[in-house]
Amino acid sequence: MSDFSQRIIAWQRAHGRHDLPWQNTRDPYAIWVSEIMLQQTQVSAVIPYYQRFMARFPDVARLAAASEDEVLQHWSGLGYYSRARNLHAAAVKIMTAHLGQFPQTPEQLAELPGIGRSTAAAIAAFAYGHRAAILDGNVKRVFARYFGVEGWPGQPAVEKQMWRLAEQLLPPGDVEPYTQGLMDLGATLCKRSRPTCHRCPLETDCVANREGRATELPTPKPRKALPERTITLLLLQNGNELLLEKRPAKGIWGGLWSLPEIENGTDPQQAACQRFALQTEIRPAMPILTHTFTHFRLHITPQPLQVTQRATPTPGTLWLDSADAVEAAVPTPVRILIRQLLGQ
């Protein structure tokens, strides 16, 4: 076993995290749900969602039997909604193609929707003790600093180099504490900003620490100006009810219920009439709401409309009491707008 892996294992046992809700179990379902939620999301944000999700969907059978809408509702606010859709699709596949038995090897796990190489390895390690290398964002940061790896880790050549390191450093045993230790080290000590190098078990041999380059490594992604986009969302009210529209499966907020969207400059009353056969009275516009995604910034003009003549709902739409709409499977900005409309 390399000195690197020995130090990681010893540190994890003494100082790592041991009491997270998804730890101290060999249940592959519980581990899988946590690993998907932890993709691009911090532990502190995941814990309450994980607990609510597991209370409603305690096993793969009940997740597969649920509707996608209900799964998205329990995911609403956590972001990156394709994770929830893939989680549901994978549960259905486990119940059908695998007869309810959770796959055990990284190769089989990686065939499920939403599970990549690193996530498959983590599930296999924690659930079955399988010896497989992980390489998530935290691990990339540890490797970049410790070995002085130059270049943005998202570049194929740099990522390939890091995968080689990940495979070479795998210990012959104790794969669970080693895997957890790498995750813990990156999340608690070798953080993106203000790393606490003096507490790190790798401090003495770390290239970034020795050369004073902890703030430089890993090399940041080349910065680009975020594109700006503007839209109008219609808040169509009929008494206490609000019209929601199902978003397409692909694109932002895929599969969620949302407020009907129109291009800025489009007449909102005309759009309501043409798309939903609704006669409306226009009400004062609400303040613009700006929401920043990973790849662009969205400026939303919320336009309330009072329905004066309601028609039969069109396919893909739903009339819902405004108070219930707040709790539905809607994106966070939409929930904010509905709460503003209700004066909350």
Catalytic amino acids? 35
- 302, containing H or E segment: strand 297-309
Q: How far apart are CA 82 and CA 255, in angstroms?
A: 9
For residue 271 the two structure tokens come to 């759009």
Do 132 and 124 touch, CB atoms closer than 8 A?
A: yes
Instruction: Tell me the DSSP string of 150-164.
Output: -S-TTSHHHHHHHHH
- Between strands 257-258 and 241-246, the pairing is antiparallel
Alpha-helix residue ranges (DSSP H) falling in the chain: 3-15, 28-37, 43-56, 60-65, 68-75, 82-96, 106-109, 117-128, 137-147, 156-169, 175-188, 207-210, 268-276, 322-327, 332-342
Q: How far apart are CA 184 and CA 17, in angstroms?
A: 7
Alpha-helix residue ranges (DSSP H) falling in 132-196: 137-147, 156-169, 175-188
Q: How far apart are CA 257 and CA 244, in angstroms?
A: 6
φ/ψ (deg, to 5) at 129: 70, 20
CA 223 to chain centre: 22
